[in-house]
Structure 1
Amino acid sequence: MKEKLKPYILPVSLCIAVLVSLVLIVALLVNPARFGSRMHQDKSATLKSEVSSKNRYDIYSPTEIIRTTKSGKQGLLTSETTSLTGELVKNIETYHVESVKEVSRDNQKHFINTLNSDNSLMLNYGSEIPVKLLSKIFDSKVGSNNFNVNRMILPLGDNTHFYLLGDNGYHVYEVTTKKRNLNQLQNILNKKIQSVNVQMRTLNDRPFLFYPNRVKMRNYGYLLAEQSQTAYINRVLGNTTDTSVKHRKKSTTYSSRDQSLNFDNDDNVIYQDYKQNKRERSYANVLNSAYGYANKLGIPLDNARFDSYNPVKNTVTYRTFVEGYPVFNQKRLGTCSFTMGNGGATRYEFSLLSFQIPIPTNAESTTLPSTGTVLNQLSAEGIDMKKVRSITLGYQVVPEKNNKQLITLQPSWFVNYDGSWINYQLIGNGTGKESF
């Protein structure tokens, strides 16, 4: 029987395929809007599942790890094979806090001595963090306090204490715990780790990382990923009937009654929510709102860390980090910012482009001068050193001329001058157009 039916199987299958195709074509012709809407919904759902829902405590995690030896020598720790920050946070999550007390304030000498404690690890945040935001990492006895943290000191020879430091006002808090697992900490440090000679110093009464020697940094090339405008339109505005579109020479804006998305020709995006949301008063709630909106919009945050908060503008900024170093760019690639207005309206600025795949470059590394050399150079050029808030090593985005999907990350020094980051090679030109 099977042998008799075999010659008819292929023709019958082809007929069924043709009939299914005809049905779909008729459905599209009869109601293209519904068919298109279904396609958009499926695409949006798929994209939502692919968008990184990165844990907020990864976003608000330390950006630098510094080890101080028993002899007082300090080194910035990095690793190409393991997430040092992630491993250390897992260790910290096991601590059982018994008490928290402030041991000093407005005492610069005690603050600096604690900062440079021998035989310890120091975890530095990009900007001060409300300790309440760390309540999921620490015991609730820490999270119930109301102070901000810039740094964490983990002694390697004391298994019942660690310290939280706030730069503004030189606050030092001692946290008493039950027995901490120092062996686990040591096991993390025994992994393949690179250490660069550094020193913690102060610049205009602010702690910063000082490199006493020249520094060699790797160059990177990156292939960029690009999200589609349609994905954001579907996710934010959906299939509402009141959406309007305005085309301009260099941008396009999609608007509904209480939201809008503006896309410019450089792949920059501005999202605005005009609803009268409750204005967040506490610093912790503003940071939580910034993260919540990023997730709602589907902004990729895979290599991002909390970078800064501007209390005057009520603006939170996230920045991409590569190998522990911040990335700077005059466009929005590598950064995204959240602003909550006085009336409760919100604004998010970001890029459709994000870092995807590292690729080889012709130049393997760049050697940069020491911190002292850079500061002396700035002073010799007549820069007002009182306006220099900080200085850091980082990467500047250099786009490829013929392919916007390719960029080079070029190592350099960056100076926070009067509130804006500027490449140290350009800070003396007086134009102010090169700030980030």
Structure 2
Amino acid sequence: MKFNSFVMRVILIASIVLSIILSWKIWTNNTHYERRTDSQTTTKAVSRKSDRKISDIFLPTQILWRTNQQSQLVYNSKESLVPKLKEAMKLTKSARFKASKLSEANYYQAITTDDTLTLLYPDNISYAVFKKVFDDSNNQLSRNTTFNRIKITMGNKPQLTLMNDKSHMTYQTTMRQFSEAQVKRILDHSDVHLNVKESLLNHKPFIYVAADQSLLPYSYLVNQQPENYYITTLLDQKNTDNIDAKEQGDNVIYTDGANNDLYKRLTINHKTGEIAFVKYEDTKSPTGLTKSFETSFAALLKTGNSLSGMRFYSYDEDTNSTTYRTYVEGAPTLVF
């Protein structure tokens, strides 16, 4: 018994000594663990940066194919067709554009021509942005010339027409490098051809889906960030005590800064999930549509949010503001 007691005392003393040694090593090497934590945090911050370009965000959102006096809204549920069509219609060589102002009747006739492929934007873009998206090396139009419709007329001499649904202005040219066979192969690989009709409403064409058509149900995972993510990213990241919050109906409005030159406002609608961010800076507003797009896109990148599926949605001339939305199958996502 005495021997066993002696062994237990030795083991206990050894354990205490070992514990003291290990504790001393941890305390004296604390800076090592701190550096490791900083490194991990830095890696996470870098991974949030987006490598998206303005040419990715300003892609057309809808594809229309018209043949036999029937328009079809075309898309592929497995992959986006727009980037493939973009590669098929690189405009390295083309004749000069011919500008025309059409009457309402002639404009409607032009958009309902057979054997045409049309790429649609939800709102007007500028020619300078079009050049970036489609790698167009020509300088044939003013950089701020606006249009929302890119129409390709098939045939021996394929025609490219840039069309503005609001003003009924058209800009037409002959495409010298274009493969009709390649485009038709891309369209043949699409798994959805939805019969639609374009009709004029308030002097503008709108797409109406024909009746008695069924679609397969789809489910998608939509990326969503908590409110605090946008508050810390877009407002004062160093001192959240400077941020004021107030409720107005379904909206929560966060403000940062009393100085008008540095004033920021973040509005979050809890009903729709929409977020609006306004930043007043001691700088001049961008002049021209293209500059406004470039400035808004730079601000979009600064949010650090995922831009997968993000597309240009609209531009408001009165407020000089650009809206972007996440798109699925050519339609903007909504939160219910």
- The TM-score range, normalised by the shorter chain, is 0.7 to 0.9
Match 2:202 to one of 204, 218, 240:
204
2:105 counterpart SS class: helix
Q: Name which of 135, 141, 159 aligns with 2:131.
A: 135
State the 1:213 CA deviation. Answer: 1.5
Counterpart CA distance in 2 for 1:80 and 1:243 is 43
Q: Is 1:121 the equivalent of 2:117?
A: yes
Letter in 1 for 2:178: R
Task: Find the counterpart in structure 2 of residue 77 from structure 1.
Answer: 74
CA 1:15–1:285: 2 relative to 1, 3 Å: farther
C-alpha offsets along residues 146-205 of structure 1, whole Å, 9 cap, x if unaligned?
421111111232444211111122112112332312222122122143101112221121
* Structure 1 residues 31-430: aligned runs within 5 Å: 43=41, 46-69=44-67, 71-102=68-99, 104-136=100-132, 137=134, 138-142=136-140, 144-217=142-215, 218=217, 220=219, 222=221, 224-226=223-225, 229=228, 233=232, 237=236, 244-246=241-243, 248=245, 253=254, 255=256, 258=262, 260=264, 262=266, 266=270, 271-329=277-335, 397=336
Equivalences for residues 20-39 of structure 1 within 5 A: 21-23=26-28, 25=30
Q: 1:48, 1:298 within 8 Å by CA — same for their partners in 2?
A: no
Could you list the per-position Cα deviations for residues 278-307 of structure 1 after superposition, in whole angstroms to 9, with x for gaps in the alignment? 211211111111111000121322122211
Q: C-alpha offsets along residues 369-420 of structure 1, whole Å, 9 cap, x if unaligned? A: xxxxxxxxxxxxxxxxxxxxxxxxxxxx3xxxxxxxxxxxxxxxxxxxxxxx
The structure with more radius of gyration: 2
| 2: CA distance, partners of 1:212 / 1:116 | 16
Q: CA RMSD in A?
A: 3.6
In structure 2, do the counterparts of structure 1 residues 221 and 235 end up closer, same or farther at CA, with 3 Å as the change threshold? closer
SS in 2 for 1:121: strand
Deviation at 1:247, TM superposition (A): 6.0
Deviation at 1:22, TM superposition (A): 2.5
Match of 2:95, SS? Answer: strand
Which string of whole-angstrom CA distances, capped at 9 and with x for unpartnered residues, describes residues 82-110 of structure 1? Answer: 211111112222542231111x2142232
Q: Which AA in structure 2 matches 1:89?
A: K
Q: How many aligned residue pairs are there? A: 308
**Per the alignment, in what secondary structure is the counterpart of residue 275 of structure 1?**
coil
How far apart, in 2, do the equivalents of 1:56 and 1:146 lie?
Answer: 16
**Structure 2 vs 1, CA of residues 125 and 269 (structure 1 numbering), >3 Å: closer, same or farther?**
closer
For 2:20 and 2:212, how far apart are their aligned partners in 1?
73
Residues 261, 269 of structure 1: 8 Å contact kept? no
Letter in 1 for 2:320: N
Q: Deviations over 1:105-134 (max 9, x none)?
A: 142232222211211101111101111111
Matched residues in 2 for 1:259 and 1:39: separation? 34
Which segments of 5 or more consecutive residues in structure 2 lack a partner in the other structure?
1-18
Answer yes or no: is the 8 Å Cα contact 1:97–1:142 preserved in 2: no
SS where residue 83 of structure 1 aligns?
Answer: coil
CA contact (8 A) 1:131 1:142 kept: no
Seq. identity, %: 20
Counterpart secondary structure, 1:216:
coil
Higher RCO (C-alpha 8 Å, min separation 6): 2
